[in-house]
Amino acid sequence: MNKLYTFLKYFFIVFWAVFVVAPFLWALTTSFKDFQSVNGGVTYIPWVDFEPNLEGWKVLIKSPAKGGVDIVEPYFNSLFVTCTASFISIVLGTLSAYALSRYTFKAGFVKNNDITFFFISQRIMPPIVLSIPFFLFLSSINLLDSLVGLILVYIVLLMPIAVWIMVDFFNKVPREIDETALIDGCNPYQAFLKVVLPNSIPGLIVAGMFCIIFGWIDFFFAFILTFTEVQLLPVKIVALNSSVTPWWSLSASALVSVAPLIIVAFIVERYLSKGNLSGAIK
């Protein structure tokens, strides 16, 4: 019975691991193929099944004029938009979360929990509902197809995540530490900056990582609100898909775009093992 259970357990874990890895391996091998080895039947192992070449990777940094794809600029656009929007969301979200965790608000029937819920409930909003008004709104103030417009939209997407994680986190940070700081003569802002924030770094890191993940993986708004001036990475890569579909450069660019966040997986796991995440995510 016990042996069977252990066997099943490892069987399932290995099965799932293979399922998780499969598309990456496929993309990796495809990225070294050329037209012949993609269209001449399915091939897997380089040197054995097909002759590998670096064409798929080379076109990524060539300019479009020379028949390249040039994902360098979209890459930096994506990085810039994601990081800026995450940073603003974290700053504003942390301040609001601190207020919601430490002070009581009351305006009619609206209380702390309702305000927190208002923040978090923005995640319920389907992107499509906002896309049409944002499209018309941004075009009316000339921010369509610009980085600033996208950052504005991403703040709406990311701030709820920051508030959600930070409220829970601040609730876990003992109130006594800010009270002591206040008694010692700090004003509330000093107490927040010098005492509470340094004690909240794990929470800030988790919130930051979630913001970066959800900003980096967004496609829909970038797709609708930008055209040619500003292109984000996912839009660029999906556009590749619709043209002649060069599988090799498609795979190579997919791997390049996915790579940075794999590091995030390691960081998340570290916090998970230390038990810091359990309070931050609830």
Partner 1 sequence: MNFKHKYFFLFPGLFVLIGILIFPIIFVVRLSLSGWNSYNPGLDFIGLDNYIRLFTDDPRFWESFFRLSFLSVTTVVLQYVIGFALAHMVWKDIKFKRFFRVLFLVPMMTTPVIMTVIWRTFFHESLGPVNDILSNFGFSPKWLTDPALAKFTVIIVEVWQWTPFMFLLLLAGLLSLPKEPFLAAAIDGASPVRKFIYVTFPLMAPISIGAIIIRLIEASKIMDTVYVLTSGGPGTSTETSSFYIFIKGLREFQMGYAASMSFTYLIIMIISLTIIAKVLTKLLLKE
Q: Which of residues 221-280 bind partner 1 (CB under 8 A)?
A: 224, 233-234, 237-238, 240-241, 247, 250-251, 254, 257-258, 261-262, 264-266, 268-269, 272-273, 275, 277-279
Instruction: Give 66 or 189: the residue with its C-beta nearer to partner 1.
Output: 189
Tokens of 152: 């504005």
In the bound complex, what is the minimum distance in angstroms from residue 146's beta carbon to partner 1?
Answer: 15
Q: Are 44 and 52 in contact (CB under 8 A)?
A: no
In the bound complex, what is the minimum distance in angstroms from residue 252's beta carbon to partner 1?
Answer: 11
Tokens of 274: 């230390």
Residues 6+ apart with CB under 8 A from 278: none
Instruction: Give 66 or 166: the residue with its C-beta nearer to partner 1.
Output: 166
- Residues in contact with partner 1, shown as a per-residue x/- string from 3 to 42 under the rule CB under 8 A: --x---xx-xx--xx-xxxxx--xx--x-------xx-xx
- Residues in contact with partner 1, shown as a per-residue x/- string from 167 to 206 under the rule CB under 8 A: ---------------x----xxx--x--------------
263-269 contacts, C-beta under 8 A, 24 or more apart: 264/209, 264/212, 264/213, 267/205, 267/209, 268/206, 268/209
Instruction: Give 65 or 151: the residue with its C-beta nearer to partner 1.
Output: 151
How many other C-beta atoms are found inside a 10 Å radius of the C-beta of residue 170?
21
Residue 107 host element (H or E): strand 106-107
Q: Report how far residue 79's alpha carbon sits from residue 214's, in angstroms, rounded to the nearest whole number.
A: 12
In the bound complex, what is the minimum distance in angstroms from residue 142's beta carbon to partner 1?
Answer: 16
**Footprint (CB under 8 A) of partner 1, residues 88-147:** 92-93, 95-96, 98-100, 102-103, 105, 115, 119, 122-137
